[in-house]
Amino acid sequence: MFAIVGLGNPGDKYRDTRHNVGYMAVDLLARNHNIDINRMKYSSLIGEGRIEGHKVILVKPQTFMNLSGEAVLAVRDFYKLENSHIIIIYDDIDIDLGRIRVRREGSAGSHNGMRSIIQLIKEQDFPRIRIGIGSAPDYMELSDYVLSRFYKSELEDINDAIKKGAYAAELIITKGVSHAMNAVNGG
């Protein structure tokens, strides 16, 4: 079994914001594979189903971004998942808008949701899919930027990146992290 966790903030106030691209990718996976994300468990909205014959749980933590680790830890412990079977999808300000990066492991960087996960799991050895949202303009505070919605001119690029992020998660499940990295990193 794999858990695919999309990071974001719950509620209409945060829907379609830059910080919620993880949610958007998980929602796309749910639509593409007819999985209903409609049960509240482990401080998350979850849905169980199959992707290419592999059992998956799609997870949207409802803890707010800075406490994402609580939800991920609860899912990992309940399902007794290996860290390599927990895929985290999240926004990254250090990657250009519309680009994605798949990594096998790594630090949290500047992302508070990832920092929470690593702090509670006490490991960094889980795959992650980083969706680039670009850096904040000089005139804008970082917190305001990540909680802002995309400009109309950015929608095509970010929607493509979300599709690539969902595809990367499918590749990790079906062919492994190395294959996903080779297929989607860099272009």
19 is catalytic: yes
* Per-residue model confidence (pLDDT) at position 125: 92
Catalytic residue among 19, 33, 85, 111: 19
* Per-residue model confidence (pLDDT) at position 187: 58
Domain span at residue 167 reads 2-184
CATH of the domain at 27: 3.40.50.1470
Q: How far apart are CA 18 and CA 129, in angstroms?
A: 15
Q: Is 83 helix (H, G, I), strand (E, B) or coil?
A: helix
Q: How far apart are CA 163 and CA 144, in angstroms?
A: 25
pLDDT, block means (10 residues), the chain with 187 residues: 97 96 98 97 96 97 94 96 96 95 88 92 94 95 96 97 98 96 85
Sheet containing 2-6, strands listed edge to edge, beginning at the edge strand earlier in sequence: 39-41, 44-51, 54-61, 2-6, 86-92, 128-132, 100-103
> What DSSP string runs through 8-76?
---SGGGTTBGGGHHHHHHHHHHHHTT----EEETTEEEEEEEETTEEEEEEEE-S-GGGHHHHHHHHH
The candidate with the shortest Cα–Cα distance to 27, out of 163, 123, 133, is 163
Q: How far apart are CA 177 and CA 182, in angstroms?
A: 9
Q: Which residues pair with 171 in a beta bridge?
A: none
Residue 13 buriedness (CB in 10 A; 0-12 / 13-18 / 19+): exposed
Distance of CA 153 to the CA centre of its chain: 23
The candidate with the shortest Cα–Cα distance to 184, out of 131, 135, 109, 121, is 131
Say if residues 146 and 14 touch (Cβ distance below 8 Å): no
Q: How far apart are CA 182 and CA 66, in angstroms?
A: 30
CA dihedral sign of residues 127, 133, 134, 139: negative
* Per-residue model confidence (pLDDT) at position 106: 86
What is the number of structural domains in the chain? Answer: 1
Cα R_g (the chain), whole angstroms: 15
